[in-house]
Amino acid sequence: MPHVLDSLVIGSGPVGYVAALALAQAGQKVALIGPRPSVKRDGRTVALLDGSVEMLKTLGVWDAVLAKAAPLSQMRIIDDTGSLFRAPPVTFKASELKLDAFGYNIELVDLVSVLGQAVSTIPQLVRSEETVAEFLRHDNGDCVAKLESGQFLTAGLLIGADGKNSMVRTFAGIASKQWEYKQTAITAFFTHKRDHEDISTEFHTRQGPFTLVPLPHRRSSLVWMMEPSRAERLGLMDDQSFQVEVERQAQSMLGPMVMEGQRGIIPMAGLSTDRFALGNIALVGEAAHVFPPIGAQGLNLGFRDVAALMRALQSTKVEAALQKYNSARKADVRLRTTAVDLLNRSLLADFLPIDLARSVGLLTVASIAPLRRFMMRRGAGH
Ligand SMILES: Cc1cc2nc3c(=O)[nH]c(=O)nc-3n(C[C@H](O)[C@H](O)[C@H](O)COP(=O)(O)OP(=O)(O)OC[C@H]3O[C@@H](n4cnc5c(N)ncnc54)[C@H](O)[C@@H]3O)c2cc1C
């Protein structure tokens, strides 16, 4: 006998958890389906910006998230390209925007664990730690998920939060475009002797940005982008030599650094889709868009998808609501995909005119107060 619900959320990443919580709190009978998330600490963190903070507050989980996060009260950009037109370091302060912080950095594992805890306390939320083997369509148009155990779950609304290789997207027949950046990110956590003073520091190097983002206490997360061949070499280094390499690249700004846990080695790719919804199926998070980890857009945009979906579902029937959702998300995500793609390519470019433009751009942004505030607001997700 199939289990009939209002909605099925496929995918147990951060966006799937948030979507399931939001739908359940809106009174829906919802199932969240996806394997138990990995607890491997491989350096992956997320910087939660303003809109995400508001969403987590509405869901009642913000205090638990904040207890494990570090505020980003300043952002420092250092030109380490060795270029002829080198810009001086630029520091942006959240206080200039009358904000306590630009965002809050938390380990992905900790965020998902807080969300998992919240999900487990909601009785009308069915949590299945299985994988979907196949999707089917009921005669009445409802979507049916056949789980690996052979169990069937049915609902009038299907939400794909199942990441970049989304099976829901394929089932819906929504086309996607994928591309690669010929870049790899190395991620890791470090403890260090000196205090980071809640400052996130980004070194712009010839091969890509090297960013140290504060975590609670004297800890930071590293996102270091580089050519895949160099990432492979650094990935093979023993921990001691890797630490030395990181400390050298950080110009010993945080004193001696000791790595915690494992290194993550993540090839950079992008993905965009034709649509965000079709019929009674909607896509959220990386099922709909993938970004390189620049400008902290990825997960924040996924949470914005969920906020927009919840707004659209408030007043109308499912299919009309999803049409609204589709139009609302297209413009926002397109704009950010183009901006992050351009930023990423300019940070990697090895051409003199781009060097010059970047330096002039940084200087201009730093020295003209309204422009500076505008850039900071855009970065903080306003
Ligand atoms: C190095 C790095 C740094 C980053 N830094 C930031 C940052 O600072 N800020 C930011 O906002 N973003 C950042 N991001 C992006 C962010 O990590 C992602 O946007 C986010 O994790 C995507 O979440 P998601 O829930 O959409 O997808 P995922 O986390 O990929 O979750 C998808 C889930 O679906 C499940 N699934 C797949 N198929 C099935 C199936 N058939 N049945 C059931 N379940 C299924 C999977 O098991 C998985 O749990 C970064 C990314 C990288 C690589």
pLDDT level of residue 367 (50, 70, 90 thresholds): low
Number of H helices, E strands in the chain: 11, 19
* pLDDT for 211: 92
Structural domain boundaries in the chain: 3-38+109-178+271-346
Report d(CA 17, CA 57) in Å as an integer.
Answer: 14
Residue of the nearest CA to atom 38 in ligand 1?
Answer: 162
Model pLDDT for residues 132-172, shown as the tens digit of each residue:
999 999 999 999 999 999 999 999 999 999 999 999 999 99
Residue of the nearest CA to atom 30 in ligand 1?
Answer: 163
Model pLDDT for residues 232-275, shown as the tens digit of each residue:
999 999 999 999 999 999 999 999 999 998 899 989 888 999 99
CA 371 to chain centre: 26
Model pLDDT for residues 54-82, shown as the tens digit of each residue:
999 999 999 999 999 999 999 898 988 77
Residues with CB under 6 A from ligand 1: 10-16, 33-35, 37, 44, 46-47, 131-132, 161-163, 167, 185, 187, 223, 266, 285-286, 293, 296, 298-300, 302
1-5, 6-10, 258-262, 343-347: least confidently modelled range: 343-347
Residue of the nearest CA to atom 31 in ligand 1?
Answer: 13
Ligand 1 atom closest to Cα of 35? 47
Ligand 1 center to 108 CA (angstroms): 9
In this structure, what token pair is assigned to residue 41? 């600490």
pLDDT at 12 exceeding the cut of 70 = yes
pLDDT level of residue 353 (50, 70, 90 thresholds): very low
pLDDT level of residue 291 (50, 70, 90 thresholds): confident
* pLDDT for 99: 86
Most ligand 1 atoms within 8 A of CB, residue of 162, 202, 225 to mutate:
162
Report d(CA 334, CA 340) in Å as an integer.
Answer: 10
Nearest to 201 by CA among 256, 245, 263, 254: 254
Ligand 1 center to 317 CA (angstroms): 29
| 69 vs 124, more confident | 69
In the predicted model, what is the mean pLDDT of the chain?
87
CA atoms within 13 A on the CB side of 167: 14
pLDDT at 86 exceeding the cut of 90 = no
| 35 vs 380, more confident | 35
* pLDDT for 63: 98
Model pLDDT for residues 19-42, shown as the tens digit of each residue:
999 999 999 999 999 999 888 887
Cross-strand partners of 158: 8, 281
Ligand 1 atom closest to Cα of 17? 25
* pLDDT for 351: 41
Percent of the residues in the chain that have a pLDDT greater than 90, as a whole number: 66
CA angle 348, 351, 355 (to 5 degrees): 75
Residue of the nearest CA to atom 21 in ligand 1?
Answer: 299
Looking at domain 3-38+109-178+271-346, which CATH architecture does it have? 3-Layer(bba) Sandwich (3.50)
| 377 vs 42, more confident | 42
